[in-house]
Structure formats: C-alpha cells, structure tokens
Amino acid sequence: MDDKVQQPATEFGETQSVLALEHMTGHCRGTVTWIWQQSVYLRLGPYGHMHVVEEFDDAREGWVARIQRKESGYEIETVENAELWVNRQQVNSSRLSHHDTIEFGNNGPMSRCYVYDNKHPMPESVGDIFGDAFAYFRNSRQPMPKRLARGCRQAASRLAGETTILFRFSVVLAIVALAWLVYQQGKINTLQNTQIESGVAELENFSSTFARSQEEALRPEDLQALSQELRGQLATQAERVTDIERRSEASAKVVATSMPSVLFLQGAWGFKEKDGERMLRIVVDADGKPIPMPSGLPSLSLDGTGPVAERQFTGTGFIIGDNGLIVTNKHVGVPWDYDANVKMMLAQGLEPVMTRFIAYIPGLPDAVPVALVRSSDTADIALLRQTEEVFQTKGLRLAGAPPAPGDEIILMGYPTGLRSMLAQAGETFIEELRETGETGFWSVAERLALAGRIMPLASRGIVGGVSRETIAYDAETTHGGSGGPVLDVNGDVVAVNTAILPEYGGSNLGVPVAKVRELLDLVATN
C-alpha cells in the first residue's frame, strides 16, 4: 500500500496499536508509512520509495525488513541479508519502541518510529479540537443554547489541558469570536431552510451548476487568450507522448494499438416533471433574454420558454471485448448520482434525465449515440452501449490479475475535455473557430472530429498501492480523464481511472478491473 494514499483509521483498544514510520531522508523524505497489519514486508522501489506488502515475493528485489506485531508492540527483523540499524546499533531483529530511529541499509531512508497506543495516543492539533467542538454543535439535537455552551466548555477544557498559558489567553479571545460566528451561522441556516421550503434554493443551486457547465463552451473573445495559453500546453503534451514512445517500444505499441478504443464522451442532462413531459427551462423575456434571479443566476421554471437548462459534462470511456460495450465511471454514466441538488429537486416533483449522450471514436468524423446499460452499486464504474449503428472497433482486453506496487502503467484519456484537444489542434484550427464563430460545447467537438483531431492523451506512471477496492498510481491526469483505461505494459486494462488526489503529490486512484468483471457478470445474468 502506498503510504501517500491513506492513513488508517484505528480505534485503540487495550492491546491494539498502530505503527508509523516518518521518513527523514531519501526520496520518500517527508512522507509517513502506516503499519497496522499483523505482519508486513518492507521493500525499496527503484527510486527509493518505501512499499508495504503483506506477502513476500522472491521475484522482486529491494527487500529490507519485516515488521510483525508481537503482543501489544512491534518487532522488526532483516530480510534477504539486508543491513538494518536501530538507534545506531546494527541488528538482525529488535523490538520497536516509541521514538526509535531506524536506518534501512546504507542507501535506504532513515525513519523515525512512532507506536500509537493507549500510552502514546495520536496527537491532535488545535484545529482538531475546534473541529470536534463544532461538529458537536452542528449535529447535536439539544437546544441551541445548551449545545453551544457544552461545545465551548469541551473545547475550553481540552485547550486548557494541552496548551501553554500564552496560547490559552489567545484562545479565550478566539472563543468569543467563534461564538459570534456560530450565532450568525445559525441565522444563515434558518434563512436557507426557509428558501428550501419555498423551492428557491433548489433552483438556485441547479442554476449555479448549470451556469458553471457553460464554461465548456468557448466564447469567441476567449479564443485569442486560449491560443496563447495552449502554445505551451501543446508543446508539453506533445513532449509527453513523444517521451513515452522514445523510452519504450512496448509502451509506444500499447499507445498506438489502444488509442482507437479510447472514446471521448460528451453529454448533458437536466430535469423534467415526473408526471409529464415538461423540462426545466430558462425563463426569458419578450426579447428572448434570460430573466435573472436576485442572486444574478438565470431563473429556471417548468413554464419557461427558453432553452432547456442542461448540465454539460465530458469524460472518457473505452471499448472492451467484441460486443461494443463501453466502460466508464459511474459519475460519467449517471452524473446526477453525484450531484447534491438531485434530492432537493426530487422533492419538488422533478427527476433527472439525460438530454444527450454521445461518444467520439478516434479517427471517425461522426458521433455515436450511447446509453447506460448498468452501473455498479459498489464501485465508480458503469457500462454503456451504442444505441444506433455499432462501429466494429476492436476492444481492449481485461487483465487477469491486478498489478503489483512498483509496476509501470499507462493511463489514457481526455483530461480537461475539449481544451486539451484544442491544445493539440494548434493555433490555425483555433483561428478558424474564431472566424466561423462555432465555439459552442457541441459544435467544437464536431469540428474536432471532422478534422480528425479527437485523440486521447497518454501518461506514464508507477503503481504505488493496490487493494481490493482501489489502485493508486502517479500517472498525470485531471478532470475529463475520468473513465479512462489504466493499462499495463502488455496493453491489458488493470483499472478504470476515477479520482485525482492532488494533496498526495499528484497520486490518482483507479477502480480495479475485477470490479468491471463483476459488473459484466451481473449484465450477463440479467
């Protein structure tokens, strides 16, 4: 498991404990490796990063130590004749204590050991203390004065016992300010509840997301600035693909053979009345101009006569097998399942519907209408199918086994949607768009397809952690790349790209291919 991906949430009992290794030197300096299993092996990757696995593999190199839970503590021992120092003393095995210093060989990192248990609980910051008090205030069912008093009393008690005198004096002033802010927040919540009951908040929320989604449609005046911005991006993206092809002939073959199967998905959805056919539309005046709400957002209504209020989105999908099935993320195939407005809109007698859903196959000039076949209840994946003419494009193979930490992968997709493809198309193409005025969300994609400019981007990375639910890797991507295939060096799909974690140094997460097989089995049995 990659120590950058997740810290374990452990509730300490009388004998439970968790071990943390804070790396002070080497390539993984500044990171923490968490260990809570009964027995694990530590291995240094080719770039000096620490990997934690539960099973020993003779085929791999770089093994440095084994850590086992012994009674209420931990014991470390060397593996494969590796050298190990604990508190400057070379050892073959040693029981670990809180604040021990471990050095893994002459070239490995030096790490500080922290054993968290009842004697050494995990330290909490001032922010954690205030966060606990505020969580109690927001969630308690007690009357407001009572929960406010109890929350402040609990926070004050913890601050008084864990901070310096100077800081305690500062906290007194901060608590007074916090109480005033809490009172104001209560007034705001009351106002918002009133708006929700009247249906105004629901429409404002969806109107806001609707307005943000229009940013995909480029205005003519945006194109000059975009042209200059994309010069650098085009060079960067081209260098990235060229670097992959130069560094490995196998990788170049994987990119070339997989590219026709990686689709650009483009869709829009809105709301319609449950017992009728009317769609939620923009309210316009006699001149056809949108009538704004007091907040400045467009007014929306079932009685509106303007355009349908659509939430536009883009994503990535890929064809598998020979039956034309398309794999993508659930948040792409069923986008409203991840929208906070939906529950509120359902209470108003509305339901979400897909107004348009299409896929572009690289190299083909026309879009292919697609529809949802089924989505997973346990993972962020969904299956789509072409609804009209089925193009016989060779699908990707699903890997038979998950990758191992340290394995190389290739991620393909359409990060940033239309903008990344405009970056590849170049300034001449952008200038033509500006002259014709065809800068809408749908028309830009149509022009790119006609020009043969719809092609996925590829990035290369290393697997950092593997579990039954997720695979973590450091290949670069961003929004729009959701649903793209994560390929091994043989071109087989090992995961479906689903999330980015910028707070962990650019690490990203994918759904293991085993989850795709489970969804395929459900479709086959039904």
Mean pLDDT of the chain: 81
**CA angle, 32 then 33 then 39, to 5°:** 160
DSSP secondary structure, 62-102, as one string: -EEEEEEEETTEEEEEE-TT--EEETTEE-SEEEE-TT-EE
Is the Cβ–Cβ distance between 101 and 109 less than 8 Å? Answer: no
* pLDDT > 90? residue 328: yes
Q: Which of 116, 146, 180 is the last residue of a domain?
A: 116
Model pLDDT, residue 14: 45
Q: Quick check: is 4 in a domain?
A: no
Q: Percentage of the chain with pLDDT > 70?
A: 79
Q: Which of 167, 198, 229 is the last residue of a domain?
A: 198
* pLDDT > 50? residue 13: no
Model pLDDT, residue 12: 41
The whole-angstrom separation of Cα 457 and Cα 230 is 15
* pLDDT > 60? residue 2: no
Is the Cβ–Cβ distance between 361 and 391 less than 8 Å? Answer: yes
Model pLDDT, residue 335: 92
357 vs 499, which has greater pLDDT? 357
Instruction: Provide the 3-class DSSP secondary structure of residue 336.
Output: helix
Strands 281-282 and 300-301: antiparallel
Contacts of 326 (CB under 8 A, 6+ apart): 263, 317, 318, 319, 320, 359, 370, 383, 384, 385, 386
* pLDDT > 80? residue 329: yes
Model pLDDT, residue 247: 54
pTM exceeds 0.75 for this model: no
At 9, the pLDDT band (50, 70, 90 cuts) reads very low
Closest residue by Cα to residue 317 from 365, 373, 278: 373
Q: Quick check: is 403 in a domain?
A: yes
Q: Which of 13-27, 103-117, 230-244 has the lowest mean pLDDT?
A: 230-244
Please, which residues bridge with residue 372 across strands? Answer: 384
Instruction: Provide the 3-class DSSP secondary structure of residue 33.
Output: strand
Within this chain, do residues 148 and 276 fall inside the same structural domain, yes or no?
Answer: no
107 backbone dihedrals φ, ψ, rounded to 5°? -110, -5
pLDDT, tens digit (0-9, with 9 covering 90-100), for 142-174? 788 887 888 788 777 766 665 555 666 776 777
pLDDT, tens digit (0-9, with 9 covering 90-100), for 479-493? 778 899 999 999 999
Q: Provide mean pLDDT across the span 412-441.
A: 84
Q: Provide mean pLDDT across the span 210-238.
A: 56
Strands 73-78 and 93-96: antiparallel
Within this chain, do residues 130 and 108 fall inside the same structural domain, yes or no?
Answer: no
Q: Quick check: is 278 in a domain?
A: yes
Q: Quick check: is 13 in a domain?
A: no
Tokens of 431: 């200038």
Q: Quick check: is 121 in a domain?
A: no
Q: Please, where are the H alpha helices in 90-164?
A: 126-139, 144-162
The residue segments making up the domain with residue 144 are 126-198
Which stretch of DSSP H or E encloses residue 460? Answer: strand 457-466
Q: Which of 145, 171, 198 is the last residue of a domain?
A: 198
Q: Provide mean pLDDT across the span 223-227.
A: 59
* pLDDT > 70? residue 412: yes
Q: Which amino acid is at 4?
A: K
Is the Cβ–Cβ distance between 282 and 289 less than 8 Å? Answer: no
Within this chain, do residues 372 and 267 fall inside the same structural domain, yes or no?
Answer: yes
Within this chain, do residues 51 and 29 fall inside the same structural domain, yes or no?
Answer: yes
At 236, the pLDDT band (50, 70, 90 cuts) reads low
In the DSSP assignment, the letter for residue 9 is -
Per the structure, how many domains does the chain have?
Answer: 3
Q: Provide mean pLDDT across the span 198-222.
A: 56
Tokens of 292: 């704004």
Within this chain, do residues 227 and 359 fall inside the same structural domain, yes or no?
Answer: yes
Q: Which of 247-261, 406-420, 466-480 has the lowest mean pLDDT?
A: 247-261
The whole-angstrom separation of Cα 502 and Cα 316 is 20
Q: Quick check: is 205 in a domain?
A: no
Contacts of 408 (CB under 8 A, 6+ apart): 460, 461, 462, 463, 488, 489
Instruction: Supply the CATH number for residue 101's domain.
Output: 2.60.200.20
Angle between the 165-198 and 126-139 helix axes, to the nearest 10 degrees? 30
Within this chain, do residues 96 and 167 fall inside the same structural domain, yes or no?
Answer: no
Distance of CA 460 to the CA centre of its chain: 18
Is the Cβ–Cβ distance between 42 and 67 less than 8 Å? Answer: yes
Q: Provide mean pLDDT across the span 293-302.
A: 84
Model pLDDT, residue 11: 43
Within this chain, do residues 313 and 378 fall inside the same structural domain, yes or no?
Answer: yes
DSSP secondary structure, 369-431, as one string: EEEEEEE-SSSS-EEEEESSSPP-PPPBPBPSS---TT-EEEEEE-TTTHHHHHHHH-HHHHH
CA-based Rg of the chain, rounded to a whole angstrom? Answer: 27
Q: Percentage of the chain with pLDDT > 90?
A: 31
- Cα–Cα separations (whole angstroms), residue 65 to 22, 60, 210: 16, 14, 54
Within this chain, do residues 391 and 465 fall inside the same structural domain, yes or no?
Answer: yes
Q: Provide mean pLDDT across the span 315-322.
A: 91
Within this chain, do residues 227 and 339 fall inside the same structural domain, yes or no?
Answer: yes
Q: Which of 122-126, 193-197, 474-478 has the lowest mean pLDDT?
A: 193-197
Q: Quick check: is 350 in a domain?
A: yes
At 1, the pLDDT band (50, 70, 90 cuts) reads very low
Q: Which of 35-49, 117-131, 273-287, 503-517 has the lowest mean pLDDT?
A: 117-131
Q: Quick check: is 3 in a domain?
A: no
Within this chain, do residues 314 and 462 fall inside the same structural domain, yes or no?
Answer: yes
Q: Which of 165-174, 280-289, 400-409 has the lowest mean pLDDT?
A: 165-174
Within this chain, do residues 112 and 144 fall inside the same structural domain, yes or no?
Answer: no
Q: Please, where are the H alpha helices in 214-340?
A: 223-247, 249-258, 330-333
Within this chain, do residues 42 and 148 fall inside the same structural domain, yes or no?
Answer: no
Q: Provide mean pLDDT across the span 108-117.
A: 84
Buried b (16+ CB within 10 A) or exposed e, 284-310: beeeeebeeeeeebbbbeeebebebbb
Instruction: Supply the CATH number for residue 419's domain.
Output: 2.40.10.120
The whole-angstrom separation of Cα 140 and Cα 138 is 6
